[in-house]
Structure 1
Amino acid sequence: MAFKSVLSVTGADHSDKDVTIAAGLCAEGGANLSVLIMASPPLGGSIPEWPKRRAAAIARLEKRYRQIEKFSHDMAILEKTSRDIQKLLAALWTCYDVDTEYCDQASVGDAVRQRALCSDLTILGPALLNDIDLGPLVINGSLFDTGKPVLVVPKGAEATLSPRRVLVGWDSRVEASRAVREALDLLSGAEEVRVTLVDPEVTCTGNGTEPGADVAAYLTRHGARVSVDRLPSAGKPAATVLAQHAIDTSADMIVMGAYGSRRLRERLFGGVRRWIEAKPPLPLFLAR
């Protein structure tokens, strides 16, 4: 399945770097780009009971006034960001739409999910990756709540939807299978696909008697040029071994499953950030 509808989420106070990356990828693949600009309001919860004492009442009124001022300021920034991004996209790509969402943090996931459900791919750029408040919420809405894939593009990465060399992290789990299926067009068009297993166990079920052979055959049937690498961990985390192997084989992208329960979402986001920050930048294609 080709990526014909791409979602890019950005904060109202972010730079236009993430949108520029997403526009370039959409132009490369002839996809429509939907940009969602997000901001959180200062007002939240119910209006508290009016204080009985005059001084307390005045203090509460002044606080509410400052909140309303901030609300007006944030809305002005959101509208300006929207105009700037539309102007930018008009010069970069013709197939796009821009929307804004002003909601509290508890509603960010739902707002993103609504858009991601009708998109083929969500792109998480370096500015959003660096936003520890908004980033995890976008991951929640786009990856965990929809089952749709996410492309993480760290700072300095050469992002492309036509990678020449791709490393697939494989462990015979459902998440890895979904990642392979969602990335099938990328994999079948690549010059080289390296299915990589770390410490695979030979079993009658699970990995099978020849670990990696089954998924390699599947990809070959879809036109991919596949080789299988079985690597020892030597006591290192599997993610570290995969990242180093991607570097050693000059991979342009890593494809892997996203693991973790709903309660571990922020840990996943933090793990992705730490992994990318500690290694040479490579786009990371995730599916749940």
Structure 2
Amino acid sequence: MGFKSVLCVTGSDHSDQDVRTAAGLCAEVGAYLSVLIMSPPPLVMSSPSLGDGIPEWPGQRAQAIARLDKRFRQIERFSQDMARLEKTSREIQKLLRATSLCYDVDTDYCDQANVGDAVRQRAHCTDLTIVGTALLNDNNLGPLVINGSLFDTGKPVLVVPKGAEATLSPRRVLVGWDSRVEASRAVREALDLLSGADEVRVALVDPEATCNGYGAEPGADIAAYLTRHGARVSVDRLPSAGKPVATVLAQHAIDTSADMIVMGAYGSRRLRERLFGGVTRWIVGKPPLPLFLAR
């Protein structure tokens, strides 16, 4: 199957490093690159009330001036944001013209409420979304892009943290397995990566042998599935020793010199994930190496 079309989302005020990372990955597998540049959500400026330095007399005139002032500031902000988007677009197109890639560069100016929809629309028609360091560290735009890519698309996301060497041809891969549908989807989406790796380690934290769930021999079923697809698999059953599952998985990935972690995203309900965190939220916040997510 492979990855033939890749989406990279970046902010208009970000560096070009995320695009360079995505371009390198596309060159590695011969994929088409779509770049979406998004403007930071505009500031919401409320109209000053009559008691905030505006004379009460004449009231209607003061309110009209306040409305005009707010409108002027919105237009000024819009003009600045559009100029920044166009400048970033020109710079990225210049960067990509120097490569041998097939690509397109698009811009979108929208508020926070519409970021997810804008990303989802484009992610539907690509095989993989790349979330680079700059986007990952953008607390306003990053989470909206990740949510827009993962929810309602059925498409995977590759998170590339600072300092990580990203590749779509990893030699050693750690699969975080919990027998849930999200983990199964992640394995299916990463099948080409896994079958081409030198070593795949399926990691289960505190698994229990049951007639359902993990099965009588935890990890044996997914290992057999991957083996049938040509992957070289071993199963690691790890005790948590009271530590969070994410901590155990991250440390095991480091101990085994993994190049990438593959795991399902948001296994719990979305609202609960937002309020209380979870494996995905913790590891996306501080991933030790590239993280391949699917839901």
TM-score by length of structure 1 reads: 0.92
Matched, 1:271 2:271: no
Give me the whole-angstrom Cα distance separating, in 1, the residues matched to 2:269 and 2:239. Answer: 27
Q: Which amino acid aligns with 1:271?
A: W
Match of 1:175 in 2: 182
1:88-99 correspondence runs (5 A): 88-99=95-106
Please give the per-residue CA displacement for 1:13-58, whole angstroms capped at 9, x wherever unaligned. 111111100000000000000000111564879x9xxx95212322
Matched residue SS, 2:167: coil
Matched, 1:134 2:141: yes
- The AA in structure 2 aligned to 1:272 is I
Deviation of the 1:190 alpha carbon: 0.2
2:213 aligns with 206
**Structure 2 partner of 1:27:** 27
Matched residue of 1:147: which SS? coil
Check if 1:161 corresponds to 2:168: yes
Aligned residue for 1:118? 125
Higher alpha-carbon Rg? 2
AA aligned to 2:183 is A
Structure-1 residue corresponding to 2:39: 39
1:248 maps to 2:255 = yes
Contact between 2:159 and 2:284, CA under 8 Å: does it hold in 1?
A: no
- In the comparison of the two structures, how many residue pairs are matched? 282
Question: Hey, what's the Cα distance between the residues in 2 that align with 1:29 and 1:63?
Answer: 49
What amino acid maps onto 2:127 in structure 1?
D
Cα separation, 2, equivalents of 1:68 and 1:239: 45
Query: What's the Cα RMSD here?
Result: 2.1
Which amino acid is 1:98 matched to? Answer: V
Does the C-alpha gap of structure 1 residues 155 and 40 become closer, same or farther in structure 2, counting only changes over 3 Å? Answer: closer
Segments of 4+ in structure 1 off by > 6 A? none
Q: Shift of residue 264 of structure 1?
A: 4.5
Secondary structure (helix, strand or coil) at the match of 2:286 reads: helix
Amino acid corresponding to residue 141 of structure 2 in structure 1? L
Alpha-carbon distance between aligned partners in 2 of 1:264 and 1:7, rounded to the nearest angstrom: 28
Distance 1:140 1:93 in 2: 31
1:262 aligns with 2:294: no
Q: Is the 8 A contact 1:136 1:265 kept in 2?
A: no
Q: Which residue pairs with 1:14 in the alignment?
A: 14
Change (3 A) 1:179 1:233: same
- Select which of 138, 152, 155 maps to 1:145: 152
| SS of residue in 2 equivalent to 1:223 | coil
Aligned residue number for residue 191 of structure 1: 198
Gaps of 5+ in 1: none
For residues 68 and 220 of structure 2, what CA distance do their matches in structure 1 show? Answer: 69
Q: Structure 1 residue 91: deviation in Å?
A: 1.1
**Partner residue of 1:102?**
109
Q: Which segment drifts farther, 128-137 or 256-265?
A: 256-265
The TM-score with structure 2 as length reference comes to: 0.90
Letter in 1 for 2:21: I
Say if 2:93 is the partner of 1:86. yes
How much identity, in percent, do the aligned residues show?
A: 79
The one-letter amino acid paired with 1:32 is: Y
2:293 paired residue number: 286
Q: Distance in 2 between matches of 1:41 and 1:240?
A: 33
- In 2, Cα distance between equivalents of 1:33 and 1:265: 31
